[in-house]
Homo-oligomer: A and B are copies of this chain.
Amino acid sequence: MRVAVVGCTGLVGETMLRVLEERRFPVEELVPVASHRSAGRQVTFAGRSWPVQPLSESVFAGVQLALFSAGAAVSREFAPLAVRQGAFVVDNSSAWRMEPDVPLVVPEVNAGALDTLKEPAIIANPNCSTIQLVVALNPLHRVFGLKRVVVATYQAVTGSGREAVQQLKDELSLGRAPHPVYPHPIAMNCLPHIDQFLENGYTREEMKIIQESRKILGEPELAITATAVRVPVLGGHSEAVNVQLVKPFDLNQVYRLLEEAPGVQVVDEPTKNRYPMPITAAKRDEVFVGRLRRDPSAENALNLWIVSDNLRKGAATNAVQIAEYLLQRGVLNR
């Protein structure tokens, strides 16, 4: 199969290449695409070097699958052009996620949203914080019903790309960053500010968590709120989540449900100091869930702590899983 990776030199794009390799996705011809600034660069994939192509409409000729991770503006312009030339597009930007006709998919949760697809189309890959949240919440939602969800995130700098990683490293080693991407230092700090602020006082990131979770879980009215915070962590997003369920639950039943849930790994032996953490979630594809405990402050409520590698399950792995599903269904052909 001819596969394009748009934004191949970014942190997510690079991770997409690694995940495609690891999972032995049937890539015969790789089309690594980036901006003109990356012209002349090569990427390594499946043991050989591939020249990076500057982004233009023509790179999509003959491409059957295009994974986009080059920002919303690029996706808005080029994803339809790729589709028109016969490619299924899995788009990691926010450009298409809330379009009613565009499936927004976390395979463990709503792969079925892909079942009506027969022809090349855009499929949206959700926000990193949303993916790990819905993977953990979906099993509870199916069995007990979600009444209300309150999320506080602890998000890593890799979620803002390579320049943000540099900012953190510069601040830690030099005391200041020559080219900051955040409006304030991130070293030794917490920034309650991810993406732009909106009229309602929420950030775009917070609204993504709210709106995308509703769409993926198929609950357009789900009561959910979020505070999204950047922390000085390199990789791995964490979430403190308070959930009120509709039906009464037994905590052991919740454990079993989560242990059996696809994509979830329960890590919850607090007295042995075992709980999910960014440093142990790194380079893993699972969504790690722990600190499960009943919350007596509301009926049928519990607290949990959810951690996942934001570049993998939060972005690249989820996108590749979507492509794998299309392949299994025979919509995407080898």
Interface residues of A (CB under 8 A from B): 148-150, 152, 154, 172, 183-185, 188-193, 197, 200-203, 223-225, 227, 229, 231-235, 238, 240, 242, 270-271, 273, 275-279, 290-298, 301, 303, 305, 307
Chain B residues near A172 (CB, 8 Å)? 172
Report whether B201 and A293 are in contact in the complex, using a CB–CB cutoff of 8 Å: yes
Contact of A225 (CB < 8 Å), options: B149, B233, B276, B295: B295
| Complex CA distance for A295 and B223, rounded to whole angstroms | 9
Report whether B188 and A293 are in contact in the complex, using a CB–CB cutoff of 8 Å: no
Report whether B229 and A197 are in contact in the complex, using a CB–CB cutoff of 8 Å: no
Report whether A291 and B192 are in contact in the complex, using a CB–CB cutoff of 8 Å: yes
| Complex CA distance for A33 and B72, rounded to whole angstroms | 60
| Complex CA distance for A235 and B184, rounded to whole angstroms | 16
Report whether A293 and B202 are in contact in the complex, using a CB–CB cutoff of 8 Å: yes
29 residue pairs bridging A and B, Cβ less than 8 Å apart: A150-B297, A152-B152, A152-B227, A154-B229, A183-B273, A185-B279, A188-B234, A188-B235, A190-B231, A190-B277, A190-B307, A192-B240, A192-B291, A193-B270, A193-B273, A193-B275, A197-B270, A197-B271, A200-B293, A201-B291, A201-B293, A223-B297, A223-B298, A225-B295, A225-B296, A225-B301, A227-B240, A227-B291, A232-B232
| Complex CA distance for A279 and B184, rounded to whole angstroms | 9
- Chain B nearest CB: distance from A194 CB in Å? 12
Q: Which 7 pairs between the two chains have the least Cβ-Cβ distance?
A: A201-B293, A152-B152, A152-B240, A223-B297, A227-B240, A197-B270, A183-B273
